[in-house]
């Protein structure tokens, strides 16, 4: 590891007696795709929740390094500040703004980027605010076109298939131009053919955005196929970190998946 | 010391009244997770029924529905105790009917908390109106010879006499407390409720039927409400349906301190509120009634709001609303884990969206649109000079514009931002008060008092929204209700009719006022339209749909909520300034919590999500009844508008989300679907409970 964009150091979180995260520590290399695997209850989503600010860990830190070398600690920041630091995430259940058409969702998520659109400027429709609106609309259309959903722009999430929702989500995180993209099970609930198409799409997205991707995924062919590095977790702790083929053979990983001590 | 002791009996009796209401609320919530804002109205209904029997008045039922005319008269007179079984049977029947017709459709479709709050508020309005319509009186006065227990002094504490009757209320509270304790401790049903409250899936596995529990708890809840209502009507001496509804707010305030699940904390808090009020009344109000007007409510309800906002742990262990679906969970994240385990994306998709579109969905009917809009706009602007319109019609039109502006404030806050606030009436009062201050105290020339009223409302709205930054759904509704009640008692009386506000000479006629009001309303609508069309409106929708997702995309919930509350408060205040100019004095009618509730109900029916809603609501609920008043009997007060409006509200929410337009489809398909869905869901729940994602279970 030479240039980690994200360094997670000793993240721990307990829910009562359950240790959801137990001293989780690993680095994410800039420009890489890192897959996080592990059985249900391994603490994968909890880790994302800590990184995006939904949960506050009991201990530990997460440091984001910008390209210029500046370091920012993430955990101490408020949830909504993390987006501006270049960290964006998707949700396991493709959580979006449910009552809003997807075209508008893609404009909504660009909220913070609209520096010339304060309350009064928006209400009065100043040139700056109108410019912001036009720019935001343009980028929203672009992102929607990128995932091939332009014709569905007026539909709310409830009218789209799961696969389309996943794509909308990817469009939403990409439109805010993040540096670190946290994807929580992007393939869950979608058809096999779509899953197979997802790998190349994620790769393309990462290159297009020049972003680092961390993804939680249960679909082994997908995650093993596109990841540069795999982090295997079990019972809140990191079991091993390594290249996909190494992790696949790791006895502890086999044990946590198959529940047997005979490796 | 002697003096201090003297405040105890009064405080404890008042506290017992609140405690009786709080206990009923906790009971229903514990068993069914429904916050029953209609509890006080149920109590009143039974009380009116009971004393009607005792008074032996003639029961005349005169229902004329379309062509069917139901006319019935019968004379009944029973003694107090002979009437009790009849009244309690009526109470049980009432609970049964409410559970079957109103609650069940929502319970099984996992309606979000926002919907449940509005449904039971609508039910409260419906029952209050029905009570007045059926029993033909808007006040219940229990004469001495009909009191439960004699009103003669039983003993004296600190020089204050305590009557047998008041002692009886405290005794009733004690008896019901013991009975409740025993019910939950020793009976099968009580145990089942506790089991189901902890974990409905496991309870279902063990053979507990959620439906049966709901029936049992609504019937017994209604029974307790009836007992409390009969006792309270006697003690409160004069009670009208709205009064008990307002007492329910205090019951709610007490109950929510105990997380709506703890009986001891609820009763303790209720007694505390009662004692606190009595102390303030005795020491402060007695000193200077003018200065300390409303102080008992302000101080005690303020304390509850502070407790809520500081959110000690115990409050929040009871109620957890799932961030994602707005569905009320039981004990933390279990519910969302469950939903996720069934199929995460499906759960997200199936979760009901916010509130239905209301009548305003019809405004989007395209073929009609442009021509109709132009025609309507023309009619609206020319209204005062239309041939058949004289000043007789302009006055209600002016009031309707003011009411429409108040409805608009609900659209911004509830429809767009998704925050249920019942304090809008307070902002109407504040707007009016600010206008009076600007015009009279400061002597500002004409348009400035309006700005003064609006400007005062904004900082108050920001202060009110402070708890909202930490509270959501039910907690927010109760906190704002408490604020609304406190403001109603503290602000409104200070500006009663004595403070005349005169418009400038050129605006003296109703016609001139009409155009001024219309222009002001147009400005408010234009601001709202700009909000909805830009980044600001999108951030409102984001916060309404999911604060977590919004924050993940960098939208700051705090800032957005403050903005929404400020805008909504300013608009409601604008409505208040109009009322003040129209009535010539600060309008007190529209400033009450009760009118906030009914305005919210009207706003939902008319369409809470769109700018057309307030216009439709203003016409339908304010102008139209006035225009057609001549045709209805002018002599007797009719509550049918409120009855139809609130029944429509409940129906509309049940049909969610298409509004009335989708009602035909609903009647065909969904009516029976609920019963089928019942079994399916239970099966799903079982499967899900098996492999629920352990990750999030604390």
**First-residue to last-residue Cα distance in chain A:** 29
Whether residue A75 is found in the same domain as residue A103: no
pLDDT at B499: 65
**Which parts of chain A sit beneath pLDDT 50?**
262-263
Query: A40 vs B695: CB contact, 8 Å cut-off?
Result: yes
In tens, the pLDDT along B103-128 reads: 887 766 667 777 888 889 999 989 98
pTM of the model: 0.84
Strands (E), B286-386: 320-321, 328-329
> Does A93 map to a domain?
no
In tens, the pLDDT along B515-552 reads: 999 999 999 999 999 999 999 999 999 988 888 888 88
> In which residue are the tokens 């695997």 written?
A37
Whether residue A168 is found in the same domain as residue A197: no
> Does A13 map to a domain?
yes
Asked if A168 has any chain B CB less than 8 Å from its own CB, the reply is no
Query: A83 vs B539: CB contact, 8 Å cut-off?
Result: no
Asked if A18 has any chain B CB less than 8 Å from its own CB, the reply is yes
Whether residue A187 is found in the same domain as residue A79: yes
Is the pLDDT at B402 greater than 90, yes or no? yes
Averaged pLDDT score across all residues of chain B = 76
Whether residue A138 is found in the same domain as residue A168: yes
* Radius of gyration, alpha carbons of chain A: 19
In tens, the pLDDT along B551-579 reads: 888 899 889 999 999 999 999 999 999 98
**Final residue belonging to a domain, choices A127, A151, A175:** A175
> Does A22 map to a domain?
yes
> Does A92 map to a domain?
no
Tell me the chain B residues in contact with residue A81 when contact means C-beta distances shorter than 8 Å: 554
Helix ranges restricted to H, B311-390: 313-318, 334-342, 344-350, 369-382
> How far, CA to CA in Å, does B317 sit from each of A199, A238, B684?
42, 31, 26
Query: What distance in Å separates residue A165's CA from the closest CA in chain B?
Result: 9
* Torsional sign, CA B650, B412, B114, B407: negative
Q: What is the CATH number of the domain that holds A188?
A: 3.40.50.300
> Does A261 map to a domain?
yes
The full set of domain ranges for chain B reads: 2-64+71-281+293-318, 393-630+638-657
CATH of domain B2-64+71-281+293-318: 1.10.3470
**Final residue belonging to a domain, choices A156, A175, A194:** A175
b/e B118-153 (16+ beta carbons within 10 angstroms → b): bbbbbbbbbbbbbbbbbbbbeebebeeebbbbebee
Asked if A8 has any chain B CB less than 8 Å from its own CB, the reply is no
Query: A119 vs B340: CB contact, 8 Å cut-off?
Result: no
Question: Can you tell me the distance from the alpha carbon of B474 to that of B160, in angstroms, rounded to the nearest whole number?
Answer: 39
Helix (H, G, I), strand (E, B) or coil at B365: coil
pLDDT at B322: 42
Whether residue A219 is found in the same domain as residue A262: yes
Whether residue A189 is found in the same domain as residue A70: yes
Query: A92 vs B340: CB contact, 8 Å cut-off?
Result: yes
Asked if B349 has any chain A CB less than 8 Å from its own CB, the reply is yes
Q: Find residues 537-556 of chain B whose CB sits inside 8 Å of chain A.
A: 538-539, 541-542, 544-546, 548-556
Query: A83 vs B549: CB contact, 8 Å cut-off?
Result: no
Residue whose C-alpha is closest to residue B531's, from A125, A105, A112? A125
Helix (H, G, I), strand (E, B) or coil at B618: helix
CATH of domain B393-630+638-657: 1.10.3470
Averaged pLDDT score across all residues of chain A = 88
> Does A41 map to a domain?
yes
Question: Can you tell me the distance from the alpha carbon of A234 to that of A221, in angstroms, rounded to the nearest whole number?
Answer: 19
Whether residue A80 is found in the same domain as residue A11: yes
Q: How many CA atoms lie within 13 A of A236 on its CB side?
A: 18
- Of B348, B527, B546, nearest to A123 by CB-CB distance is B527
Q: What is the DSSP string of A124-159?
A: HT-HHHHHHHHHHHHHHHHHHHHTT-GGGTTS-GGG
Whether residue A170 is found in the same domain as residue A181: no
Residue from B344, B356, B554 whose CB has the most chain A CBs within 10 Å, to mutate: B554
Query: B536 vs A129: CB contact, 8 Å cut-off?
Result: no
- Of B534, B545, B552, nearest to A89 by CB-CB distance is B552
**Final residue belonging to a domain, choices A142, A175, A208:** A175
Query: What distance in Å separates residue A152's CA from the closest CA in chain B?
Result: 16
In tens, the pLDDT along B306-352 reads: 877 776 554 444 444 444 334 443 333 334 334 444 455 555 555 54
In tens, the pLDDT along B657-692 reads: 444 333 433 343 333 333 333 333 333 333 333 333
Asked if B536 has any chain A CB less than 8 Å from its own CB, the reply is yes
In tens, the pLDDT along B405-414 reads: 999 999 999 8
Please report, to the nearest 10 degrees, the dihedral formed by the alpha carbons of residues B504, B506, B510, B515 taken in order: -100
Question: Can you tell me the distance from the alpha carbon of A138 to that of A146, in angstroms, rounded to the nearest whole number?
Answer: 12
Structural domain boundaries enclosing A127: 98-175
Whether residue A3 is found in the same domain as residue A30: yes
Whether residue A166 is found in the same domain as residue A115: yes
Residue from B334, B524, B535 whose CB has the most chain A CBs within 10 Å, to mutate: B535
Nearest CA in chain A to B336: A93
Whether residue A132 is found in the same domain as residue A189: no
Contact pairs from chain A to chain B, CB under 8 Å = 154
Q: How many domains does chain A have?
A: 2
Residue from A82, A88, A98 whose CB has the most chain B CBs within 10 Å, to mutate: A98
């Amino acid at each position: 590891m030479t240039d980690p964009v994200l360094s997670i150091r000793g993240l721990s979180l307990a829910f009562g007696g359950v240790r959801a995260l137990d001293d989780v520590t690993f680095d994410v290399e800039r420009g890489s795709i890192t897959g996080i695997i592990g059985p249900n209850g391994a603490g994968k989503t909890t880790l994302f929740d800590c990184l995006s600010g939904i949960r506050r860990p009991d201990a530990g830190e997460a440091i984001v390094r910008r390209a210029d070398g500046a370091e920012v600690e993430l955990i101490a920041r408020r949830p909504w500040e993390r987006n501006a630091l270049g960290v964006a995430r998707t949700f396991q259940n493709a959580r979006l703004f449910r009552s809003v058409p997807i075209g508008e969702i893609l404009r909504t998520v660009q909220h913070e980027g609209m520096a010339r659109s304060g309350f009064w400027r928006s209400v009065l429709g100043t040139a700056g605010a109108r410019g912001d609106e036009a720019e935001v609309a343009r980028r929203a259309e672009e992102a929607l076109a990128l995932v091939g959903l332009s014709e569905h722009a007026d539909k709310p999430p409830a009218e789209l298939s799961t696969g389309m929702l996943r794509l909308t989500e990817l469009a939403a995180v990409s439109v805010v131009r993040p540096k670190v993209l946290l994807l929580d099970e992007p393939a869950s609930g979608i058809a096999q053919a779509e899953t197979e198409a997802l790998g190349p799409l994620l790769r393309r997205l990462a290159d297009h955005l020049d972003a680092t991707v961390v993804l939680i995924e249960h679909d082994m062919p997908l995650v093993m196929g596109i990841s540069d590095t795999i982090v295997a977790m079990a019972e809140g702790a990191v079991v091993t970190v390594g290249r996909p083929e190494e992790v696949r053979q790791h006895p502890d990983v086999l044990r946590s998946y198959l529940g047997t001590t005979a490796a | 010391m002697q003096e201090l002791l003297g405040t105890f009996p009064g405080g404890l009796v008042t506290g017992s009244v609140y405690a009786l209401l709080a206990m009923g609320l906790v009971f229903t919530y514990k068993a069914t997770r429904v916050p029953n804002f209609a509890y006080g109205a149920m109590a009143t209904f039974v009380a009116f029924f009971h004393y009607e029997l005792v008074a032996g008045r003639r029961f005349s039922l005169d229902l004329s529905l379309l062509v069917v005319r139901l006319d019935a008269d019968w004379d009944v007179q029973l003694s107090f105790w002979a009437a009790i079984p009849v009244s309690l049977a009526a109470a049980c029947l009432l609970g049964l009917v409410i559970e079957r017709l109103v609650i069940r459709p929502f319970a099984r479709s996992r309606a979000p908390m926002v919907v449940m709050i509005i449904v039971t508020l609508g039910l409260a309005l419906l029952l209050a109106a029905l009570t007045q319509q059926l029993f033909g009186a808007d006040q219940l006065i229990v004469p001495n010879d009909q009191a439960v227990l004699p009103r003669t002094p039983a003993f004296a504490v600190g020089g204050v006499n305590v009557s047998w009757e008041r002692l009886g209320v405290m005794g009733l509270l004690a008896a019901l407390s013991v009975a409740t304790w025993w019910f939950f401790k020793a009976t099968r049903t009580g145990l089942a409720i506790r089991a189901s409250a902890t974990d409905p899936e496991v309870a279902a596995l063990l053979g507990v039927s959620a439906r049966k529990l709901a029936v049992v708890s609504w019937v017994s809840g209604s029974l307790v409400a009836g007992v409390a209502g009969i006792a309270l009507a006697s003690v409160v001496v004069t009670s009208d349906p709205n009064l008990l509804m307002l007492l329910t707010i205090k019951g709610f305030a007490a109950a929510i301190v105990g997380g709506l699940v703890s009986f001891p904390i609820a009763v303790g808090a209720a007694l505390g509120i009662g004692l606190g009020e009595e102390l303030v009344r005795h020491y402060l109000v007695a000193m200077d009634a003018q200065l300390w007007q409303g102080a008992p409510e302000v101080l005690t309800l303020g304390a509850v709001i502070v407790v809520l906002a500081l959110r000690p742990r115990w409050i929040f262990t009871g109620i957890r609303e799932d961030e994602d679906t707005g569905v009320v969970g039981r004990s933390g994240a279990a519910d969302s884990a469950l939903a996720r385990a069934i199929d995460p994306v499906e759960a997200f998709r199936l979760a009901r969206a916010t509130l239905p579109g209301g009548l305003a969905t019809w405004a989007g009917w395209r073929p009609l649109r442009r021509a109709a809009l132009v025609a309507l706009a023309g009619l609206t602007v020319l209204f005062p000079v239309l041939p058949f319109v004289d000043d007789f019609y302009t006055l209600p039109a002016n009031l309707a514009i003011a009411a429409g502006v108040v409805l608009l404030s609900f659209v911004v806050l509830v429809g767009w931002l998704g925050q249920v606030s019942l304090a809008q009436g307070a902002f109407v009062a504040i707007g009016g008060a600010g206008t009076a201050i600007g015009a009279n105290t400061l002597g500002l020339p004409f348009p400035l008092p309006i700005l003064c009223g609006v400007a005062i409302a904004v900082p108050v709205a920001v202060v009110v929204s402070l708890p909202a930054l930490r509270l959501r759904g039910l907690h927010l509704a109760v906190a704002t209700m408490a604020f609304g009640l406190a403001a109603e008692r503290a602000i409104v009386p200070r500006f009663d009719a004595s403070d005349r506000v005169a418009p400038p000479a050129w605006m003296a006629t109703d016609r001139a006022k009409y155009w001024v009001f219309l222009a002001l309303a147009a400005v408010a609508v234009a601001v709202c339209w700009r909000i909805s069309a830009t980044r600001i409106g999108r951030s409102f929708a984001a916060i309404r749909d999911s604060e977590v997702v919004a924050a993940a995309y960098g939208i700051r919930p705090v800032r957005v909520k403050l903005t929404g509350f400020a805008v909504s408060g300013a608009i409601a205040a604008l409505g208040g300034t109009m009322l003040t100019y129209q009535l010539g004095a600060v309008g007190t009618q529209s400033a009450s919590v009760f009118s906030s509730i009914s305005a919210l109900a009207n706003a939902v029916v008319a369409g809470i999500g769109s700018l057309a809603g307030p216009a439709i609501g203003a016409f339908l609920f304010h102008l139209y009844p006035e225009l057609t008043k001549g045709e209805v009997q002018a002599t007797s007060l009719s509550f049918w508008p409120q009855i139809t409006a609130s029944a429509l509200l409940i129906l509309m929410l049940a049909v969610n989300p298409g509004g009335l337009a989708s009602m035909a489809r609903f009647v065909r398909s969904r009516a029976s679907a609920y019963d089928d869905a019942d079994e399916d869901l239970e099966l799903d729940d079982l499967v899900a409970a098996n492999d629920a994602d352990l990750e999030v279970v604390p």
